[in-house]
């Protein structure tokens, strides 16, 4: 089914609105050039900030909406506040620690469940049931057992990320090339060696995916644990500033979280690409 091979493609430059790069030049502006993207991106952000400032000055939301300037001043004040840095560090540390433990546990559990048939069937119902249930559901239980502590936040991160990592690893194990496994067996590799040299490497892109999805999720869970459970970190800082009525600080902290979330997303997909650069799925990127 190769329809495009016989079709002289894209002559009609006016009606196609969705075109890669150079096609837009007919209109005079190339929206895909890095300079245009950067410039327009800044312009868009400024527009949105202007809208925010306008709404704040007009008092559309009463005094609940601080002005952009007040928020930015508060943001810079936070940078000089050691408590803010402790909170940020705690949040990042808990998310990273949770993610590392979750990956190690997920790989071990996933290899166990994925390679032994009866274990997989026995755990199928449990994993399928808990998969769509977010960790916030068990937050009250964690708070009851551990109180508003780092341990509680870490437990919540693990509850929220171990299962999804495990499921990814199981999928990776199932995706192992049977020919490669048979080859390894005929070369006389033992069970453990096959596991480490064939199954684990071929499951590694799935592990990469679980890290890419899990890292931002871990950050979010730490914030939830702080916001609703009182665990130390940026979450409880937001809660304190909000209940104290210090709204510029609330907004500034939420902005910080936005940036952190963005960094977590990009950093984890960068690590994924770096570590798995040898894998066919990532080789395509190189031109």
Partner 1 sequence: MKRHLFNLALAITAPFVLILAWFKASSQSTNAFFPPLSDILVRFADLWIFEHFVSDIIPSMRNLIIGFALAAVLGVVIGFILATVPVLRVLFEPSLHLLRGIPPVALVPILITLVGFTDQMRISSIVIAAVFPTLIATMDGIKAVDASLKDVCTVYRLDRKDRLLSVYLPSASPQIAAGMQVSLLVAFIVMIASEMMGTAQGIGAMTLLAQQTFMAADMWAGILLLGLIGFLSNVLFDLVKNRALSWYIGSKKMEKVS
CA gap 94, 257 in Å, rounded: 14
Interface with partner 1, residue 54, by CB under 8 A: no
Reduce the DSSP state of residue 43 to 3 states and report it: helix
Minimum gap (Å) between residue 282 Cβ and partner 1 = 18
Convert residues 17-46 into a mask of x (bound to partner 1 by CB under 8 A) and - (unbound): xx-----x------x----xx--xx-xxx-
- DSSP three-state, residue 111: helix
DSSP at 287: -
Among 57, 100, 108, 124, binds partner 1 (CB under 8 A): 124
Q: Which of 100, 137, 196, 281 binds partner 1 (CB under 8 A)?
A: 137
Compute how many residues bind partner 1; rule: CB under 8 A: 74
Show contacts of 44-51: CB within 8 Å, 24+ apart.
none
For partner 1, the binding residues in 176-195 under the rule CB under 8 A are: none
CB of 156 to partner 1, least distance (A): 12
Near partner 1 in 205-244, by CB under 8 A: 216, 219-220, 223-224, 227-228, 235, 238-239, 242-243
Nearest by Cα to 229 from 177, 180, 178, 159: 159
CB atoms within 10 A of CB 162: 20
**Cα 254 to Cα 18: distance, rounded to the nearest angstrom:** 34
> Cα–Cα distance between 224 and 133 in angstroms, integer?
15
Candidates 105-113, 116-124, 201-209, 275-283; binding stretch for partner 1 (CB under 8 A): 116-124
Tell which one of 134, 174, 277, 281 touches partner 1 (CB under 8 A).
134
**Is 16 near partner 1 (CB under 8 A)?**
yes
The minimum distance between CB 255 and partner 1, in angstroms, equals 8
Per-residue x/- marks for partner 1, 140-169, CB under 8 A?
Answer: xx-xxx------------------------
**CA–CA gap between residue 248 and residue 27 (Å, rounded):** 43
Strands (E), the chain: none
**Which C-beta is closer to partner 1: that of 184 or that of 254?**
254
> Whole-angstrom Cα distance, residue 201 to residue 178?
14
Ranges within 55-94 binding partner 1 (CB under 8 A): 61, 64-65
């Amino acid at each position: 089914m190769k329809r495009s091979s016989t079709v002289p493609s894209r002559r009609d430059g006016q009606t196609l609105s969705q075109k890669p790069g150079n096609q837009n030049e007919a209109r005079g502006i190339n929206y895909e050039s890095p300079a245009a993207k950067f410039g327009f991106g800044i312009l868009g952000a400024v527009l949105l900030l202007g809208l925010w400032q306008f709404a704040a000055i007009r008092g559309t939301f009463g005094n609940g909406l601080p002005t952009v300037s007040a928020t930015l001043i508060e943001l810079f004040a936070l940078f000089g506040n050691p408590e803010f840095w402790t909170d940020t560090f705690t949040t990042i540390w808990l998310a990273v620690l949770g993610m590392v433990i979750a990956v190690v546990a997920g790989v071990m559990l996933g290899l166990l469940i994925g390679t032994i048939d009866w274990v997989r069937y026995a755990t199928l119902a449990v994993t399928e049931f808990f998969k769509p249930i977010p960790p916030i559901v068990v937050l009250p239980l964690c708070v009851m057992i551990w109180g508003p502590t780092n341990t509680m936040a870490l437990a919540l991160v693990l509850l929220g990320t171990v299962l999804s990592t495990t499921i990814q690893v199981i999928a990776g194990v199932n995706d192992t090339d049977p020919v490669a496994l048979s080859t390894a067996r005929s070369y006389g590799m033992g069970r453990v060696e096959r596991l480490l040299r064939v199954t684990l490497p071929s499951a590694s892109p799935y592990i990469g995916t679980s890290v890419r999805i899990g890292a931002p999720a871990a950050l979010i869970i730490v914030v939830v644990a702080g916001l609703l459970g009182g665990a130390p970190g940026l979450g409880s800082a937001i809660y304190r500033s909000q209940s104290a009525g210090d709204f510029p600080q609330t907004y500034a902290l939420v902005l910080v979280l936005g940036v952190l979330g963005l960094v977590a997303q990009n950093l984890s997909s960068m690590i994924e690409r770096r570590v798995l650069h040898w894998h066919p799925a990532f080789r395509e990127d190189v031109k």
